[in-house]
């Protein structure tokens, strides 16, 4: 009977586990502990959560610090994520086909409507601002948000559009808690209420937010779909006003945003005739016009 030396060395139960590197795995688990809610953590707390000896955690943190993935918080014994993580995240976002193919399209939309336009993707229960075409400072204002910014999907119109290809059972599996945190009077407080919002945006093919998540900020959001029909991202045009009215033509903005989302979807080989979802820009021109 032959013996796998790697399995003896690492104590692996399977051949697949034999190729795992424990130190690397632990280092990556440490990085995953940092979050928007807890941006600063100390070695004792990380040790307790991950059940790793404190001395080991401190050595791993020093290694991560030397590579720029974490840095000292206020020259203390606590740590926060470093710029090295930002470089990794930026490289990942730029490598996504929907970002590579979509950036020129949202830049053209920005030039056409004079507003800041984003491509937003979903990561679980959060949305992530993945690409930006910044609009000029004007009477309409210029909306600035850092790339990589995360917001709760259920509380934003972008998230509700991005959740549009999930059925109710999938939504319940994603949101396991009976109630959802509220950020304004517009935020759905239950999965059932969230599903109703998702159905509404799915039926009309776009979403509109007027001071929905942040007071004084409105947005129009439309889905970008891949070849299989799944929603990969949304095109989001933002205006720094509580309401989209006055000298701003909401119907025209909706058509422009939806048509840009359709343009990117076609590049990603989505065939709307194969899977009819929502309304096309041509349909909206007739409906809204």
CATH H-level superfamily of 96-288: GAF domain (3.30.450.40)
- Tell me, what's the pLDDT at 199? 94
Please give the average per-residue pLDDT across 120-130, as a whole number. 91
% the chain with pLDDT above 90? 39
Please give the average per-residue pLDDT across 33-57, as a whole number. 88
Its CATH architecture, for the domain 5-82, is: Orthogonal Bundle (1.10)
- Token readout for 25 is 């795995």
Which tops the pLDDT comparison, 261 or 243?
Answer: 261
Please give the average per-residue pLDDT across 3-13, as a whole number. 41
For residues 188 and 194, is the Cβ–Cβ distance under 8 A?
Answer: yes
**Residue 115: CB atoms within 10 Å:** 27
- Tell me, what's the pLDDT at 283? 57
Question: 64 CB contacts (<8 Å, ≥6 apart)?
Answer: 27, 30, 31, 70, 79, 82
pLDDT digits 0-9 by tens, 175-221: 988 889 988 888 999 999 999 999 999 999 999 988 778 878 889 99
Task: Round to whole Å and give the CA distance between 280 and 265.
Answer: 12
pLDDT band at 172 (very low <50, low <70, confident <90, very high): very high
- Tell me, what's the pLDDT at 14? 53
pLDDT band at 167 (very low <50, low <70, confident <90, very high): very high
Question: Does position 84 have pLDDT exceeding 80, yes or no?
Answer: no
Task: Round to whole Å and give the CA distance between 86 and 17.
Answer: 29
Extents of the domains making up the chain: 5-82, 96-288
- DSSP H or E stretch at residue 32: helix 22-33
Task: Round to whole Å and give the CA distance between 218 and 211.
Answer: 5
Question: Does position 37 have pLDDT exceeding 90, yes or no?
Answer: no
Which tops the pLDDT comparison, 271 or 267?
Answer: 267
pTM of the model: 0.69
HSE of 161 in the Cβ direction (CA atoms, 13 Å)? 27
């Amino acid at each position: 009977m032959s013996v796998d030396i790697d399995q003896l060395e690492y104590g692996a139960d399977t051949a697949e586990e034999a190729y795992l590197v424990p130190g690397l795995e632990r280092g990556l688990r440490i990085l995953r502990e940092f979050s928007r809610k807890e941006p600063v953590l100390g070695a004792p707390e990380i040790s307790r959560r991950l059940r790793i000896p404190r001395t080991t955690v401190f050595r791993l943190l020093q290694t991560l610090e030397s590579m720029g993935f974490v840095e000292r918080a206020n020259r203390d014994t606590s740590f926060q994520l470093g710029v090295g993580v930002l470089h990794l995240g930026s490289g990942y976002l730029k490598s996504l086909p929907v970002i590579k193919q979509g950036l020129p399209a949202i830049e053209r939309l920005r030039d056409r409507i004079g507003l800041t336009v984003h491509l937003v993707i979903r990561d679980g229960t959060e949305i992530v601002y993945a690409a930006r075409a910044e609009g000029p400072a004007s009477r309409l204002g210029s909306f600035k948000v850092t790339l990589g910014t995360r917001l709760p999907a259920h509380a934003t119109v972008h998230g509700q559009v991005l959740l549009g290809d999930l059925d109710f059972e999938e939504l319940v599996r994603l949101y396991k808690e009976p109630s959802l945190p509220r950020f304004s009077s517009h935020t759905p407080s239950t999965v059932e209420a969230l599903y109703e919002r998702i159905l509404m945006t799915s039926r009309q093919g776009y979403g509109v937010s007027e001071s929905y998540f942040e007071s004084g900020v409105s947005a129009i959001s439309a889905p970008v779909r891949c070849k299989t029909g799944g929603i990969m991202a949304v095109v989001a045009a933002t205006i720094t006003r509580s309401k989209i009215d006055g000298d701003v033509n909401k119907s025209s903005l909706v058509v422009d945003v939806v048509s840009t989302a359709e343009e990117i979807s076609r590049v990603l080989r989505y065939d709307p005739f194969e899977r009819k979802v929502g309304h096309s820009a041509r349909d909206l021109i007739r409906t809204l016009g």
